């Protein structure tokens, strides 16, 4: 009787202990930092300002050998980065739209590789703009994609052999606009959705080489970086031809501009959330495939959004007051 009671006890406890042990193992491996910076190189693009600039400083403090790609090495951003960092941080001129500059940067990285090689590439350089698709030209799309999409593809193909040798990390800075389709963000969304498709395919291919690929999806950090370039309603209006001026009236341009400016003012004031996630993607033993970085209040909405039927995701905009005002103003004098 006692033996039966004892066996029953063991059988009852076994599944619970297995689950607890599993959870504990996951917790331990999640918090185990696989990599310290010592002897490891990281290339970051777009370090003149914003996330790239802050990440470069942070990784330099953690002991990584940082190759900080800057569009303007003589500019204030790059100079300030060099002045505030250790001698381990190297500024390189890197316009990601130029094959020649990417190859030159690769040569420079190869010549200065630390003992444990190039551990990570952070594809961060990016530009942003807003306009309705009908206000845009093919060239507007091309120039956006050249930096945000082809810039990352060009850099990745060049540096992958080095990262593969180190069984390291590839990190891509995307945006919530990769999946959140809204008014005025057509070109930016195309560039970021394309970027995520590239990174997702790469993750599958690189898994067998031990390289991990992460996507960072920041929400609105417009106040914390230089991503928002000043633009007026006149800038947009002057670009339109007569035919389009008859459809989208001037008053609506003002409204759209005010709306965009005020929305951007509501974002995060600092970059901490993004930098912490980038660091996790680089040093953690178990980096995530995606880091969605929005406020706690918005998290449920943005997690759900990609899974909603198209009619519902479209309705988020078509039922908004802004959309109603836009509809009233179309064709108006």
Ligand X SMILES: NC(=O)c1ccc[n+]([C@@H]2O[C@H](COP(=O)([O-])OP(=O)(O)OC[C@H]3O[C@@H](n4cnc5c(N)ncnc54)[C@H](OP(=O)(O)O)[C@@H]3O)[C@@H](O)[C@H]2O)c1
Q: Does residue 48 interact with ligand X by CB under 6 A?
A: yes
83 with 53: CB under 8 angstroms? no
**The one segment of 58-66, 122-130, 202-210, 310-318 that binds ligand X by CB under 6 A:** 122-130
Would you state the torsion angle of the CA atoms of residues 191, 195, 201, 202, taken in this order, to the nearest 10 degrees? 150
Give the burial string for 266-282 (b: 16+ CB within 10 Å, else e). ebbeebebbbebbbbbb
Dist. CA 104–CA 183, nearest whole Å:
39
Q: Which of 79, 88, 97, 143 binds ligand X (CB under 6 A)?
A: 97
Q: Does residue 278 interact with ligand X by CB under 6 A?
A: no
Q: Does residue 179 interact with ligand X by CB under 6 A?
A: no
Binding-site size for ligand X (CB under 6 A) equals 29
Q: Does residue 173 interact with ligand X by CB under 6 A?
A: yes
Supply the DSSP string of 65-89, one letter for each residue.
Answer: EEEEEES-TTSHHHHHHHHHS-TT-
Closest CA to 192 of 104, 289, 124: 124
Q: How far is the CB of 298 from ligand X (least distance, A)?
A: 13
Q: Which of 117, 186, 194, 218 binds ligand X (CB under 6 A)?
A: 218
Packing angle of the helix pair 250-264, 321-329 (nearest 10 deg): 160
Q: Which of 89, 147, 163, 166 binds ligand X (CB under 6 A)?
A: 147
Q: Which is nearer to ligand X, 35 or 271 (CB)?
A: 271
- In DSSP terms, 215 is beta-bridged to 172, 290
Dist. CA 91–CA 78, nearest whole Å:
7
Q: Does residue 220 interact with ligand X by CB under 6 A?
A: yes
**The one segment of 49-57, 104-112, 134-142, 249-257 that binds ligand X by CB under 6 A:** 49-57
323 is catalytic: no
Q: Does residue 256 interact with ligand X by CB under 6 A?
A: no
Q: Which is nearer to ligand X, 220 or 313 (CB)?
A: 220
Q: Which of 35, 42, 43, 51 binds ligand X (CB under 6 A)?
A: 51
Q: Does residue 206 interact with ligand X by CB under 6 A?
A: no
Residues in the chain: 333
Q: How far is CA 255 from CA 16, 183, 187, 232, 246, in A?
A: 59, 13, 20, 11, 17
23-28, long-range: CB < 8 A, 24+ apart: none
- In DSSP terms, 65 is beta-bridged to 41
Q: Which of 55, 71, 278, 282 binds ligand X (CB under 6 A)?
A: 71
Q: Which is nearer to ligand X, 128 or 326 (CB)?
A: 128
Q: Which of 42, 43, 49, 186 binds ligand X (CB under 6 A)?
A: 49
| Site for ligand X, rule CB under 6 A | 45-46, 48-52, 71-72, 94-97, 124-128, 147, 151, 173, 175, 218, 220-222, 225-227
Catalytic residue set: 188
């Amino acid at each position: 009787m006692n033996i039966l009671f004892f066996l029953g006890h063991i059988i009852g406890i076994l599944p619970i202990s297995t689950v607890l042990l599993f959870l504990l193992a996951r917790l331990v491996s999640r918090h185990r930092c696989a990599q310290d910076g010592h002897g490891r190189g990281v290339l970051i693009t777009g370090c003149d300002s914003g996330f790239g600039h802050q990440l470069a400083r942070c990784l330099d403090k953690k002991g990584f050998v940082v190759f900080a790609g800057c569009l303007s090495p003589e500019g204030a951003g790059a100079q300030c980065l060099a002045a505030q960092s250790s001698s381990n941080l190297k500024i390189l001129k890197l316009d990601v739209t130029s094959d020649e500059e990417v190859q030159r940067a690769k040569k420079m990285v190869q010549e200065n590789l630390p003992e444990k090689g190039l551990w990570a590439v952070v594809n961060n350089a990016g530009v942003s703009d807003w306009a309705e698709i009908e206000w845009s030209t093919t060239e507007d799309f091309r120039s956006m994609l050249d930096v945000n999409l082809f810039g990352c593809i060009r850099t990745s193909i060049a540096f992958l052999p080095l990262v593969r040798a180190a069984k390291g990390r590839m990190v891509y800075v995307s945006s919530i606009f990769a999946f959140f389709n809204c008014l005025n963000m057509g070109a930016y969304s195309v560039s970021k959705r394309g970027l995520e498709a590239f990174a997702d395919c790469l993750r599958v291919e690189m898994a067998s080489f031990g390289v991990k690929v992460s996507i960072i999806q920041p929400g609105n950090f417009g106040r914390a970086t230089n991503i928002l370039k000043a633009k007026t309603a006149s800038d947009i209006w002057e670009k339109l031809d007569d035919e389009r001026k008859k459809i989208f009236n001037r008053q609506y341009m003002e409204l759209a501009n005010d709306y965009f400016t005020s929305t951007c003012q509501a974002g995060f004031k600092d970059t901490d959330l993004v930098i912490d996630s980038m660091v996790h993607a680089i040093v953690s033993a178990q980096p995530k495939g995606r880091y969605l970085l929005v406020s706690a209040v918005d998290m449920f909405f943005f997690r759900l959004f990609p899974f909603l039927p198209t009619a519902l995701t479209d309705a988020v905009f078509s039922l908004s007051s802004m959309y109603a005002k836009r509809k009233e103003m179309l064709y108006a004098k």
